[in-house]
Amino acid sequence: MAFDGLLPCHSEVFTRAEYSSEDMALPEAIMNHVKQETHHQNIYVIDRGLQSTRTMNSFTDDAVTFIARAKENRKHVELQSLVRQAQDSDLGELTLIKDSKVQLYTGKAIHNKKGNIHYREELIETPFRLIIAKTITDDPKEFWFITNDFDLSAKQVAQAYRRRWDIEVFFRFIKQEINVNHLVSLNKNGIEVMLYMTLIVAMLILIYKKANQIGYKTAKRRFKMELRNLAIAMIVVDCDGNLNHFET
Query: pLDDT digit string (tens) for 97-144?
Result: 999 999 999 877 676 666 676 667 889 999 999 999 998 887 889 999
61 has which bridge partners? none
In this structure, the answer to whether residues 141 and 222 fall within a common structural domain is no
Is residue 216 included in any domain, yes or no? yes
Residue 92 has pLDDT above 90, yes or no: no
Instruction: Tell me which residue of 164, 98, 92, 90 sits closest to 130, measured CA to CA.
Output: 98
In this structure, the answer to whether residues 233 and 199 fall within a common structural domain is yes
Distance from C-alpha of 7 to C-alpha of 10, rounded to nearest angstrom? 9
pLDDT top residue among 114 and 173: 173
How confident is the model at residue 31, as a pLDDT?
A: 92
Is residue 170 included in any domain, yes or no? no
pLDDT tens string 203-245: 999 899 989 999 888 998 999 999 999 988 888 888 877 767 6
pLDDT above 90: percentage of residues in the chain: 39
Of 112, 136, 162, at which residue does a domain stop?
Answer: 162
How confident is the model at residue 36, as a pLDDT?
A: 85
Of 98, 132, 162, at which residue does a domain stop?
Answer: 162
Is residue 85 included in any domain, yes or no? yes
Identify the band that residue 81 occupies on the pLDDT scale cut at 50, 70 and 90. very high
Identify the band that residue 85 occupies on the pLDDT scale cut at 50, 70 and 90. low
Identify the band that residue 248 occupies on the pLDDT scale cut at 50, 70 and 90. low
pLDDT tens string 147-168: 999 999 999 999 999 999 888 8
* Mean pLDDT along residues 45-49: 91
- φ, ψ (nearest 5 deg) of residue 131: -115, 125
- Sign of the CA dihedral 25, 31, 146, 7? negative
* Mean pLDDT along residues 42-70: 93
Which domain, by its residues, includes 45? 2-162
* Mean pLDDT along residues 23-34: 92
* Mean pLDDT along residues 41-68: 92
Instruction: Provide the whole-model pTM.
Output: 0.81
Cβ 100 vs Cβ 78: under 8 Å: yes
CA 151 to chain centre: 21
pLDDT above 70: percentage of residues in the chain: 92
In this structure, the answer to whether residues 52 and 99 fall within a common structural domain is yes
In this structure, the answer to whether residues 188 and 102 fall within a common structural domain is no
How confident is the model at residue 28, as a pLDDT?
A: 93
Q: What is the DSSP letter of 219?
A: H
Question: CB 62: neighbour CB atoms within 10 A?
Answer: 11
In this structure, the answer to whether residues 47 and 151 fall within a common structural domain is yes
In this structure, the answer to whether residues 91 and 120 fall within a common structural domain is yes
In this structure, the answer to whether residues 93 and 181 fall within a common structural domain is no
Identify the band that residue 181 occupies on the pLDDT scale cut at 50, 70 and 90. confident
* Mean pLDDT along residues 19-40: 88
Of 162, 197, 231, at which residue does a domain stop?
Answer: 162
Q: What is the dihedral of CA 169, 163, 211, 198, to 10 degrees?
A: -40
Mean confidence (pLDDT) of the chain = 87
Query: Number of folded domains in the chain?
Result: 2
Cβ 169 vs Cβ 8: under 8 Å: no
Is residue 42 included in any domain, yes or no? yes
